[in-house]
Structure 1
């Protein structure tokens, strides 16, 4: 079972990396985009489930736990926001995922504190603190929106969809980079940078994509 989980985890990871690139250039809203998007999300969710199974039954890994939660949350929000374009239509599972994500963020922050004071692994402690704060922010942002929706743009759900799916792809790239550090930074003492480089590069690209979509929709040059 462990071998099956590991192999299927790798296969789905490769599927996500390839489809993510293709979807970036695929026409948004087309049947092809929707179909491949479903395959992308299914592969993402199996990555999360297989990672959690490996952590629970075979070996604990803070890395896998972090990536699994962040990946699931971003891909889940990316799917759900398209189905709840009207504020106030959240389901109980939207609340559950937001609360669980927030609690996990708090736990990861606490784990980072434990590592800092109980071990000499300062780098891992800082990473846990940073990713914990990010995870907590993601969850609480959802909760604040559910409690008091603030809509300032007509196509807010599309922008959130793009941001969330882009974030899930950054999480997948981070997973690949951290699991294979010698491919990118062979024998380097700074391989910890692979935890943050995908986000540092990917976040501005997502921001650029959002600006372009806002410009197209404002000018009436695109439909959704």
Structure 2
């Protein structure tokens, strides 16, 4: 079973990395985009499930745990926002995921502080703080939106979808880079940068994509 979990985890990881690239150039809203998106999310959720199974039954890995939480939360939000385009249609499990994500982020920050003062590993403490902060931020932003939605744009759900699915791909790229450091920074003492480089590179690209679609939709509405 452990071997099956590991092999299927790797296969689904490769599937996500490939489909993520294809989806970036796929025509948004097309049947092909929807189908590949469903496969992408299914593979992503199996990555999360298999990671938690490995952690629970075979060997604990803080790395697997953090990436599993991040990939599940972002892909979950990316799917759910397409099904709750109408404000106030959140389900109990939307709240549950947001609360659990917030608590995990807060716990990661506390663990980072504990690591800083009890071990000689400031890099680990820094990474825990960074990932904990953004995980907590994501969860709180979801909760804040549920409580008091600030919707000033008709296609708000599209922008949230792009941001969430882009975030899930960044998490997948982070996992791949951290697990294969010698591909990107061979024999380097700076391999810890692979934890943050995908976010540093990917976040501006997501912002650009959202701006592109906002401009495109606003232009099309203005000409109608």
* Class of the TM-score when normalised by the shorter of the 2 chains: over 0.9
Alignment correspondent of 2:148: 148
Deviation at 1:214, TM superposition (A): 0.6
Gaps of 5+ in 2: none
Q: How far has the Cα of 1:152 moved from its partner?
A: 1.2
Which 10-residue stretch deviates more, 109-118 or 191-200?
Answer: 109-118
Misfit runs of 4+, over 6 Å? none
The aligned residue for residue 124 of structure 2 is 124
TM-score (norm 2): 0.97
Instruction: Give the whole-Å Cα distance in 2 for the aligned partners of 1:123 and 1:35.
Output: 40
SS in 2 for 1:83: coil
Deviations 1:108-136 (A, max 9, x none): 11111121112111101100011001000
How far is 1:161 from its partner?
Answer: 0.1
Cα shift at 1:13: 0.2
Q: How far off its partner does 1:58 sit?
A: 1.1
Render the CA deviation track for 1:20-75: whole Å, top value 9, x for unaligned.
00000000001110010000000000000111111111111111111100100000
Deviations 1:74-111 (A, max 9, x none): 00000000000011000000000000000100111111
- Separation in structure 2 between the aligned mates of residue 171 and residue 184 of structure 1, nearest angstrom: 16
Counterpart CA distance in 1 for 2:109 and 2:49 is 22
Size of the aligned set, in residue pairs, is 221
Instruction: For 2:112 and 2:4, locate their aligned partners in 1 and report how far apart those are by CA, in whole Å.
Output: 31
Q: What per-residue deviation string (whole Å, max 9, x for no partner) do you get for residues 115-172 of structure 1?
A: 1112111101100011001000000000000001110111000000000000000000
Q: Distance in 2 between matches of 1:91 and 1:149?
A: 15
How far apart, in 1, do the equivalents of 2:55 and 2:111 lie? Answer: 16
Q: RMSD of the alignment, in Å?
A: 0.8
